[in-house]
Amino acid sequence: MNLQQVANPRPASNGHGRRRVERENVSKQELKSVSGKTKPSRLTNAGAPAGSKTGGYESPSRERLVYLTTCLIGHRVEVQAADGSLFSGIFHATNAVEDFGIVLKMAHSIRIGSPQGQMSIVDNIGKGPSKTLIIPAKELVQITATGVSVTRDGFTNDLQHVKQQDIMLDSSISQSRHGEAERQLERWVPDEDNPQCPELENIFDGNWNRGWDQFKANAALFGVKSTFDEELYTTKLERGPQTRELEREALRIAKEIEGEETQDLHLAEERGVQLDENFDIDEETRFSSVFRGVDDSGYYEDDEVLLDSQNTETFGGASSSVISKSFANLTSGKSDDGDQVSSCSSLKDEVQGSVSSTMRDLNKSDSSDHSRQLLSESLSKNAASNCDSRIQENQFSEQLGINYLTEFVEKKTLAEVAQKTKSEDLQSSLRTMKDGADIGGHSMNATLYASTSLGSSKGQEKTSSPGELKDNVTPAKPQGAATQSARSRGRPGSASSTSERGGAATTSSGPGLSPSSSVGSLSSEKSTLNPHAKEFKLNPNAKSFIPSQTPLRPASPVADGSFYFPTNVAAVPHMHGVPVGIGVGPSFAHQPVVYNPQMAPMQSPQAYFHPNGPQYGQQMILGHPRQVLYMPTYPPEMPYKGRDF
């Protein structure tokens, strides 16, 4: 326990300079005493070495040696002995005063050297690891250690690593903040016990590229040509001169957000904030449960005024980065419809009331990696929207699922919308308002439906939304000021591609996004709508749509006798004089069938192929003499083919 001042020479010989004061250490000087206690060394100033006991030890090289051996403490090392034996153990101590014999803990021999010379180390072969192994300096040949952290960064890593070893949190593995750029990846090798999968070696051999292109193989084998276009599913990445800047900006914002303090436990954990160990919080609370007390992304009413003023200066230029940032915030986990709606509107100078929401989100959003990705993605990927005037806004809106409607802003309906927690109401009100707005630009439609669809599908893949938007935009263009309901239903009809995406069909066509689970999740979250938002003013021109379960057309005479035939019925043999219809069971929700018993018998009923929705097997009903009126249940998403009733 005598503490030699090993580390002291101050004259900056060899350019090593002063050691830092933090460098305590040096207690590992006792061979025998394996106490883990350490005592800080006393770093004296220059001039002291002469009087110290450590006569020959003042060289900086000795310092370094001691420093490095200290770094090894607790590390698994391999020690080679003079007789060739190799031991592996945890480095515990070294005699830094004298000759640097070392002490290992939990050591076991890897290789036994030939028993010549002194074999003082021996005989724990087959006895399992020895608790303590002492290797005198005379026997010591070399010590090797891999992955030793030598500098401060390494130590921080270690510390955290050790702390978190019990529970290997994903955040500790994946966080890049922990310093290491990459983990050392080891190639996976199958268990030795399973020799049955030899083919794995071949396919995945080599580097990532593998030399095997699945698309080429498919084309060669089956003649299948891939028509995958990434831009169908996500916003187009515009790589221009702006990209770098935008990326940087996004990164900056992301860092800013992530660096924010938060009261939310989960957020804090994600951001790497170490929780005080003394807190008696069980695992569930810490890692999994949803905390309902404080909502970081919500509104803070008292900040409204302040935020308003901030808002103008922030959003004066409506810089893209800021916009995206707010959007990104909104799409983060806790935001809901109200947030989105109001935040988007805030970007318009006209709206005052709901501005606060955006700002709040900006300041207190519980952004996650998700939002960060969105940020960078949104910034770099700009959707190739067809909308001319609103391209910029549309891009962001569709990427981030924000309802970005100038009409809304003008009408100050946003607040009202924001207050509706039910997505159904949201949809209907949106539609109503949009209607009366008499769309100035097609973009309005696009954004409207984009927003509705996006609002509902927020939980879904982001990539789906731009696609929807595109589809929505195209049919929206040629439209006049038809009724809102007509439009809503007409769109999915025209866009055949929407049939594949159930989400699109549902959202664009009607209120009540019941099929969309994400919407359900949205509405189920705590409502943080802005109570101060502007009041909703009904647009008298809007056609109100009331979703109902009753059929829209109760047995009214149909002049041209349209029939809806399922697409999978090639020919419908019809008998003269007998109205032919395809009976629809109540299970078939998508097919509106009009069966008009009063209609005069048709010679050739026209077939309307219902392009939307999956076509179920039909019960073909022919030759029904009696009057049958089919009243299919109309699901909210029933596409309406533009009929006025």
According to CB under 8 A, which one of 99, 201, 261, 438 is a site residue for other proteins? 99
Q: Is 480 near other proteins (CB under 8 A)?
A: no
Q: In the complex, what is the shortest distance from the CB of residue 492 to other proteins, in angstroms, rounded to a whole number? A: 53
Count of positions (residues) in the chain: 645
Taking residues 3 to 22 in sequence order and writing x for each that binds other proteins by CB under 8 A, - otherwise, the string is -----------x-xx-xx-x
Residues numbered 299-318 forming contacts with other proteins, rule: CB under 8 A: none
Q: Three-class SS of residue 261?
A: coil
Q: How far apart are the first and last CA of the chain?
A: 98
DSSP labels, 446-499: HHHHHHHHHHHGGGS-TTHHHHHHHHHHHHHTT--S--HHHHHHHHHHH-GGGG
Q: What is the size of the binding site for other proteins (CB under 8 A)?
A: 73
DSSP labels, 163-222: HTSSS--HHHHH-GGGS-SS---------TT-TT-THHHHHT-SSTTTT--HHHHHHHHH
Write the burial class of residue 93 (CB in 10 Å: 0-12 exposed, 13-18 middle, 19+ buried): buried
Q: In the complex, what is the shortest distance from the CB of residue 166 to other proteins, in angstroms, rounded to a whole number? A: 9
Q: Is 319 near other proteins (CB under 8 A)?
A: no
Q: Is 84 near other proteins (CB under 8 A)?
A: yes
Distance CA 421, CA 409 (A): 19
Identity of the residue, 188 or 645, whose beta carbon is nearer to other proteins in the bound complex: 188
Q: Are strands 562-565 and 130-135 parallel, antiparallel or unpaired?
A: unpaired
Q: Is 134 near other proteins (CB under 8 A)?
A: no
Q: Is 150 near other proteins (CB under 8 A)?
A: yes
The span of 61-69, 266-274, 418-426, 634-642 binding other proteins (CB under 8 A) equals 61-69
Structure tokens at 269: 């954990």
Kindly state the greatest CA–CA separation across the chain: 123
Q: Is 232 near other proteins (CB under 8 A)?
A: no
Q: Is 87 near other proteins (CB under 8 A)?
A: no
The span of 95-103, 167-175, 422-430, 454-462 binding other proteins (CB under 8 A) equals 95-103
According to CB under 8 A, which one of 10, 30, 44, 64 is a site residue for other proteins? 64
Q: In the complex, what is the shortest distance from the CB of residue 159 to other proteins, in angstroms, rounded to a whole number? A: 4
Q: Is there a contact between 333 and 262 (Cβ–Cβ < 8 Å)?
A: no
Q: Is 142 near other proteins (CB under 8 A)?
A: yes
Identity of the residue, 41 or 235, whose beta carbon is nearer to other proteins in the bound complex: 41
- Alpha carbon distances (Å) from 399 to 328, 379, 440: 9, 10, 22
Q: Is 193 near other proteins (CB under 8 A)?
A: yes
Backbone φ and ψ for 563, nearest 5 degrees, come out as -120, 145
Distance CA 282, CA 278 (A): 11
Residue found by looking up tokens 């209609």 in the block: 599
Q: Is 76 near other proteins (CB under 8 A)?
A: yes
Q: Is 70 near other proteins (CB under 8 A)?
A: yes
Dihedral sign (CA 412, 413, 414, 418): positive
Q: Is 586 near other proteins (CB under 8 A)?
A: no
Q: In the complex, what is the shortest distance from the CB of residue 207 to other proteins, in angstroms, rounded to a whole number? A: 20
According to CB under 8 A, which one of 10, 62, 422, 643 is a site residue for other proteins? 62
Backbone φ and ψ for 243, nearest 5 degrees, come out as -55, -50
Q: In the complex, what is the shortest distance from the CB of residue 195 to other proteins, in angstroms, rounded to a whole number? A: 6
The span of 64-72, 255-263, 457-465, 593-601 binding other proteins (CB under 8 A) equals 64-72
- Alpha carbon distances (Å) from 635 to 447, 454, 590, 610: 24, 20, 7, 15
According to CB under 8 A, which one of 2, 116, 165, 227 is a site residue for other proteins? 165
Q: Is 387 near other proteins (CB under 8 A)?
A: no
3-state secondary structure 266-328: HHHHHCCCCCCCCCCCCHHHHHHCCCCCCCCCCCCHHHHHHHHHHHHHHHCCCCHHHHHHHHH
Identity of the residue, 10 or 16, whose beta carbon is nearer to other proteins in the bound complex: 16
Q: Three-class SS of residue 609?
A: strand
Identity of the residue, 59 or 562, whose beta carbon is nearer to other proteins in the bound complex: 59
Q: Is 151 near other proteins (CB under 8 A)?
A: yes
According to CB under 8 A, which one of 11, 32, 110, 138 is a site residue for other proteins? 138
Q: In the complex, what is the shortest distance from the CB of residue 133 to other proteins, in angstroms, rounded to a whole number? A: 12
According to CB under 8 A, which one of 157, 172, 321, 483 is a site residue for other proteins? 157
Question: For residue 525, which amino acid is it?
Answer: E
According to CB under 8 A, which one of 3, 48, 122, 129 is a site residue for other proteins? 129
Distance CA 309, CA 568 (A): 60
Residues numbered 518-537 forming contacts with other proteins, rule: CB under 8 A: none
Q: In the complex, what is the shortest distance from the CB of residue 82 to other proteins, in angstroms, rounded to a whole number? A: 8
Q: In the complex, what is the shortest distance from the CB of residue 234 to other proteins, in angstroms, rounded to a whole number? A: 34
Identity of the residue, 16 or 553, whose beta carbon is nearer to other proteins in the bound complex: 16
According to CB under 8 A, which one of 4, 5, 69, 346 is a site residue for other proteins? 69
According to CB under 8 A, which one of 43, 119, 140, 232 is a site residue for other proteins? 140
Residue found by looking up tokens 């047995």 in the block: 555
Q: Are strands 130-135 and 581-583 parallel, antiparallel or unpaired?
A: unpaired
Q: Are strands 102-111 and 86-94 parallel, antiparallel or unpaired?
A: antiparallel
According to CB under 8 A, which one of 100, 300, 608, 616 is a site residue for other proteins? 100
Identity of the residue, 272 or 583, whose beta carbon is nearer to other proteins in the bound complex: 272
According to CB under 8 A, which one of 110, 162, 217, 305 is a site residue for other proteins? 162
